[in-house]
Amino acid sequence: MSTNYNIVSLIRKKRNKIHLTSDEISFIVSAYLAGDIEDYQVSAFLMASFLNGLNTEESSALTNSMLHSGQIVDLSHIPGKKVDKHSTGGVGDKLSLVLAPIVASAGVPVPMISGRGLGHTGGTLDKLGSIPGFSTDMDLPRYKEIIQKHLLVLAGQTAEIAPADKKLYALRDVTATVEYIPFIASSIMSKKLAEGIDALVLDVKYGSGAFMKTSEQAIELAETLVGIGEQFDKKTIAFITNMNQPTGYKIGNWLEVEESIDCLKGKGPEDTAYLSHLLAGAMIYLGGKADSLENGIALSKRQTQNGEAFSKWKDIVAEQGGDVSFIEDPNKFVLPSFVFELKSSKTGFVQKIDTYSVGMAAVELGAGRKLITDVIDPGAGIVLEKKIGDKIEEGETILKAYTNKPTVIDEVTEQLFSAFSIGDEKPEAQPLVTHICDSNGTRAFEL
Ligand code: URA
């Protein structure tokens, strides 16, 4: 139990740019969760911290207090280093669905607690929810049982995991204090550290479809996340990846499951396969099943070629209540009845994609939520036929969109049309991964 402080004095201290002690931060978090201090007082603390900054000790105390506000899952009965991956969010980002079975099939336990879509970005939980019958709702004993049996579990956040983060996140959302790197990093890491992991791989995205718009912001976030991981004695590797266009060709919950099945069979799009093997390789390396990142990547590729990753995927789908016949034959899934094509008005090259707008168009089609109460249409989404650098003729199809909401088609067509810039010059190819960040610092990424 932390000491009882006067909340007004703590807000005043922070307002006057005096750093708070770990005990003081811990008091604010636990008193807020207990309902002993008011929303408006914590709002003032959040804004004062946002404006005057939190130092490393304060950020680490915030993470620690949110982490300990709930249960920390103990997976020590399962042999081996448990490793998870976290992505800061993007459009068409189905990498978790590909890498989780790969890594588990290579012998590294993956306890994965995922979230729902946020704004223009999709969420792993919604993608899994599009598999008929698949359930991510479970209590902790079931979570432990599944990971012990399959070295993999795919769950949603339970009420036991970092409840203070949930309460604080909701307050940040309505007080314009979400976009502050120490808050984002402590929020992400408090949940990840509670899962029972030993190590973590982070995919920190930048670009038009990411929350961090520049690679500099992404690097700052990655360094903060890695710093917290190291403080908690968890090996952490972050990759800075490009989200200036969607990952792969498919955007939308079931459509992304379909594309991830292609990847698990070695037939996926090049960017998706590359990123999946990179992140899976890093997880395998941190899990101690390879002695270098390169060998981790080679093992990841082997697990798709020999069919073990796909077989693991079918096992976990069946264990969590999903109908495996849809995984074996994805064409069984009936896509929405309204399909429309977006055609190019000129000949040239795709120069740029406003990926945020593409993500928001997918939400409008039914693939995401605008209100927390909205119900997702699992089949809604977009299938790109062209990506940056592709040649396109006038009248050729750029993409197909699927929806059950015919009334949104005109508006979404317009939105998608303005999201694609087509010009005469073929643009220079952009690297998919720019930097790697770990306990040795941040450096340009090269394989
Ligand atoms: N995701 C989180 O979990 N927390 C944040 O603060 C932002 C993104």
The predicted pLDDT at position 374 comes to: 87
Task: Report the candidate in 350, 112, 378 with the shortest Cα–Cα distance to residue 246.
Answer: 350
- Kindly list the domain boundaries of the chain, sorted by start residue: 7-53, 83-158+178-328+432-444, 334-423
Annotated active-site residue in 14, 82, 85, 191: 191
The rounded mean pLDDT for the chain is 96
Q: Any idea which fold 334-423 has?
A: Aldehyde Oxidoreductase; domain 3 (3.90.1170)
Q: CA 268, 273, 274: angle at the middle one, nearest 5? A: 150
Q: Name the residue with tokens 């998870």.
A: 84
Task: Please give the number of the atom of ligand 1 that sits closest to the Cα of 178.
Answer: 6
Task: Please give the number of the atom of ligand 1 that sits closest to the Cα of 187.
Answer: 4
Mutate to test the pocket of ligand 1, among 188, 190, 224 (most ligand atoms within 8 A of CB): 188
Most confident of 110-124, 173-187, 284-298, 362-376: 284-298
Residues of the chain above pLDDT 90, percent: 92
| Prediction pTM value | 0.94
Interval 334-347 mean pLDDT: 97
Annotated active-site residue in 85, 86, 235, 386: 86
Task: Tell me the CA–centroid distance for residue 428 and ligand 1, in Å.
Answer: 32
Does the domain made of 83-158+178-328+432-444 have the CATH classification 3.40.1030.10? yes
Active-site residue flag, 139 = no
The predicted pLDDT at position 80 comes to: 96
Task: Tell me the CA–centroid distance for residue 302 and ligand 1, in Å.
Answer: 34
The predicted pLDDT at position 158 comes to: 83
Report whether pLDDT(1) > 90: no
Q: Whose CA is nearest to atom 3 of ligand 1?
A: 188
Task: Tell me the CA–centroid distance for residue 13 and ligand 1, in Å.
Answer: 26
Q: Is the CB of 187 under 6 A from ligand 1?
A: yes
Task: Tell me the CA–centroid distance for residue 390 and ligand 1, in Å.
Answer: 34
Q: Any idea which fold 7-53 has?
A: 1.20.970
The predicted pLDDT at position 187 comes to: 94
Q: Name the residue with tokens 């249960």.
A: 71
| Each residue's pLDDT tens digit, 242-258 | 999 999 999 999 999 99
Interval 334-361 mean pLDDT: 97
The predicted pLDDT at position 442 comes to: 98
Strands 420-423 and 110-114, by their bridges, are unpaired
Active-site residue flag, 213 = no
**Which of left, alpha, beta for 20 (phi over 0: left; psi -120 to 50: alpha)?**
beta
Distances (CA, A) of 344 to 111, 267, 371, 417: 44, 27, 32, 8
Q: CA 125, 131, 136: angle at the middle one, nearest 5? A: 40
The predicted pLDDT at position 122 comes to: 87
Q: Is the CB of 184 under 6 A from ligand 1?
A: yes
**Which of 175-179, 231-235, 273-277, 322-326 has the lowest average pLDDT?**
175-179
Classify burial at 245, counting beta carbons within 10 Å of its beta carbon; exposed 0-12, middle 13-18, buried 19 or more: buried
Task: Tell me the CA–centroid distance for residue 201 and ligand 1, in Å.
Answer: 16
Given a contact cutoff of 8 angstroms between Cβ atoms, the answer to whether 382 and 251 are in contact is yes
Annotated active-site residue in 114, 187, 190, 344: 187
Same fold, 7-53 and 83-158+178-328+432-444: no
Q: Whose CA is nearest to atom 7 of ligand 1?
A: 184
The predicted pLDDT at position 335 comes to: 97
Interval 110-135 mean pLDDT: 93
Given a contact cutoff of 8 angstroms between Cβ atoms, the answer to whether 103 and 83 are in contact is yes
Task: Tell me the CA–centroid distance for residue 182 and ligand 1, in Å.
Answer: 10
Interval 290-302 mean pLDDT: 98
Q: How confident is the model at residue 157 (pLDDT cuts 50, 70, 90)?
A: confident
Task: Tell me the CA–centroid distance for residue 118 and ligand 1, in Å.
Answer: 9
| Each residue's pLDDT tens digit, 38-69 | 999 999 999 999 999 999 899 999 999 999 99
Interval 11-23 mean pLDDT: 98
Q: Whose CA is nearest to atom 2 of ligand 1?
A: 188
Q: Is the CB of 188 under 6 A from ligand 1?
A: yes
Q: How confident is the model at residue 371 (pLDDT cuts 50, 70, 90)?
A: confident
The predicted pLDDT at position 119 comes to: 85
Q: Whose CA is nearest to atom 8 of ligand 1?
A: 184
Q: Whose CA is nearest to atom 1 of ligand 1?
A: 188
Q: How confident is the model at residue 2 (pLDDT cuts 50, 70, 90)?
A: low
